[in-house]
Structure formats: structure tokens, C-alpha cells
Amino acid sequence: MSLPALFENRLSVPVIAAPMFLASGPSLVTACCKSGVVGTFPALNLRSTEEFESWVIEIKAELQRHTDETGDLPAPFGVNLIAHKTNPRLEADLAICIKHEVPLIITSLGAISDLVDAVHGYGGIVFHDVVNVRHGKKAAATGVDGLIAVAAGAGGHAGDWSPFALVNELRQFFDKTILLSGCLSTGSDVAAAQMMGADLAYMGTRFLGTQECEANENYKQKLLDSSAAGIVYTPAVSGIPANFIRESVEAAGITLADAPKVDLGLELEEARDGKKSDSKPWADIWSAGQGVGSVNDLPTTAELVSRLKAEYHQAHEDQLARVSTLNG
Ligand SMILES: Cc1cc2nc3c(=O)[nH]c(=O)nc-3n(C[C@H](O)[C@H](O)[C@H](O)COP(=O)(O)O)c2cc1C
């Protein structure tokens, strides 16, 4: 078990609200942090590095205002950087994170030791997304502080490993923080993630269904109406296997057998700015994980976190009661 010092006495429940393209913004991030959950967002949610910097400034100011008014220290916030060679913004966005000393950096699609050193240089920490042990070993060698085990059924770019297999194998060579990602929806799921060896739960789809999330109303309604059976795992949208709401993929006329070449810079630009086609990945082709069947309401973030907290504690009581019935 290992939790970074940065999180000690800052969390009300061991959860990170995962970064979500075109869905997580300053309202969701600050609501999470004020409720005691780490709030995060992808730098590429903004069109330019200048706009990205303005969000970082806004989030820091709001969290400082909260501390000044209440005396409470909110949970730290984090930024997701896509460390793929096709992301032309990586260097400039990282420079902003260094300038503003963003506490947590989450890297996906590539682990880079220079980036890790730069973040450590100002006292920040780096978690990295992995979908298998090969990626985990490569990332561990760069000195990251945590591995995010993105298991089968997760929203966005997901893996296809069982969470038990992935966490257990990562634990055999990595003794720092391990986060579990994929279909975690309740406080009981958070407790279960820790029970099977993870330190923190990493939740996306459940936070899509909150008031503060920037997903549009049709998307949110579709979350309420969907269940795991309506999710399709396919590389057809971006070239990287990801989970989407099947109906939205079909409505966009995408052939599931296709696997386009990966060009994240282009894909994300088109998604934000709508250059190429009417149906844009992530904006009109909606991602969600298999946990979507547990999203049955659209609470405020504070309500959701308070529910997660109650369920988390109840899960421990229930487990102790089960253990007490065992013989010996
Ligand atoms: C709509 C959506 C957008 C996402 N965008 C990103 C992203 O930009 N960067 C990233 O690292 N992960 C992204 N993810 C993945 C999440 O960070 C996280 O790994 C995943 O949602 C966890 O699984 P869950 O949705 O089953 O809780 C996205 C997920 C969703 C649902």
C-alpha cells in the first residue's frame, strides 16, 4: 500500500475523478477538490496552450479562495498530458504545468523520464496510464509515482485485461501507488479496489453523470438510458481501442471493422473545432465505460462524493460482518 504524501489528509474518499476529453472543466475539477476528491482535466480540452493556462489559473484561484473562506485544504488537482508523438502541444503544455506547479500530472500513451524529472523538480507527482504489464514496466522505469491500471470496460481508451490480473501483476514489480480504473461506480467499488491491491480508485464515467460535467444534456440522458450491453470496445473511432456508446458510433456511420491510423493531434483538433466531418469523436460519438449501467442519476459532485463516502464506509462494515461469520 502506498499513497503519495501529497494526498495525506486531503481526501474524503480515496478517489481521483479521471480526466475526460471535452467533459471535465474547471467547475467539475474544483467541485471535486472541494469535496475531497482529486479533480483532473486534459490540457487538450482547450484549443491553445494560452487557454489551457487560463484554466489552470482559474482552478488555482478558486481553490485558494475556498481555503481562504473555509480554512479547509481541498484535494490537489491534476492535469492530463497526452505524451504521444502526434500531440504537438506536449512541450508547451508541460511548460505551463511547471510554471504553475500543477500538483499532479497524469500522462497517457507514452511515459517520458524527462517529463517525470521536470515535474519532480518542483515537487509535483506523475501518474501514468497503463493497460498491460509491458506498458507498466516501461513507465516504472521512467520513475513515475503511480501506475493507473486501466482495465477492461473503462471509459475512453481502455485496456482489455481483468482488473485482478492487471493489479496483481503490476504489484509484483511496482511498490508505489497503484490506481484502478474501469467501471468503478460506487463507494463499495472503491473499497473493493483497495481490497484487491489498489491504493486509489480512478473514476470517469460516474463523474460524467454529474451536474458540473461539461457533457451536453443529450449525452447525459444517454448515460442514464444506457447499460454495459450498449457499450462497444473498438479502435474504429480513433485507431486506439476505446469504449463508446454503440448507438452514437452507429449514428455517425462508422464501420466497426475499421481501424484508422492514430493521429491524436488531428483527431482532437477535429473533435474540438469540427473541421472534418459532422460527427466528431468524443463530441458526437460518446465515450462511456461499461459502468454506465450504474449511472442512474445526475447529482451534483458534492452529493456524489458524499454518497461515495457513505457507501465506502458501509462496505467496510459489511465486510467486517461477513468476516465475523467465518469459522476460524
Ligand atoms: C468521455 C471520456 C473521455 C475521456 N478522455 C480522456 C482523456 O482525454 N485522457 C485520458 O487520459 N483519459 C480519458 N478518459 C479515460 C478516463 O480518464 C478513465 O481512465 C476512465 O474513464 C475510467 O473508467 P470508467 O469510465 O469506467 O470509470 C476518458 C473517459 C471518458 C468516459
Ligand 1 pocket residue status of 203, Cβ below 6 Å? yes
Q: Hey, what amino acid is at 29?
A: V
Q: For residue 287, which phi and psi values (nearest 5 degrees)?
A: -90, 145
**Angle between helices 133-141 and 163-171 in degrees, nearest 10:** 30
Give the predicted TM-score (pTM) of the model: 0.94
63 located within any domain: yes
Cell numbers representing residue 14 in the block: 480515496
How much is the pLDDT for 267?
Answer: 66
Ligand 1 pocket residue status of 59, Cβ below 6 Å? no
CATH number for the domain spanning 95: value is 3.20.20.70
How much is the pLDDT for 265?
Answer: 65
Ligand 1 pocket residue status of 46, Cβ below 6 Å? no
- SS3 of 244, please? strand
CA nearest to 219, candidates 20, 18, 2? 20
245 located within any domain: no
Rounded CA-CA distance 315/128 in Å is: 28
User: What sign does the CA torsion over 25, 192, 102, 49 have?
Assistant: negative
How much is the pLDDT for 110?
Answer: 82
On whether the CB atoms of residues 205 and 295 are closer than 8 A, the answer is: yes
Q: Cell 482552478 identifies what position? A: 59
Cell numbers representing residue 259 in the block: 481501424
Number of domains in the chain: 1
With the most atoms of ligand 1 within 8 angstroms of its CB, the residue from 15, 16, 21 to mutate is 21
275 located within any domain: no
State the 10-residue block means of pLDDT for the chain, 328 residues long: 90 98 97 98 96 98 98 97 89 97 94 92 98 97 98 96 98 98 98 98 98 96 97 90 94 79 65 60 88 98 98 97 92
17 located within any domain: yes
203 located within any domain: yes
Rounded CA-CA distance 303/291 in Å is: 19
Residues of the domain holding 168: 5-215
Ligand 1 pocket residue status of 226, Cβ below 6 Å? no
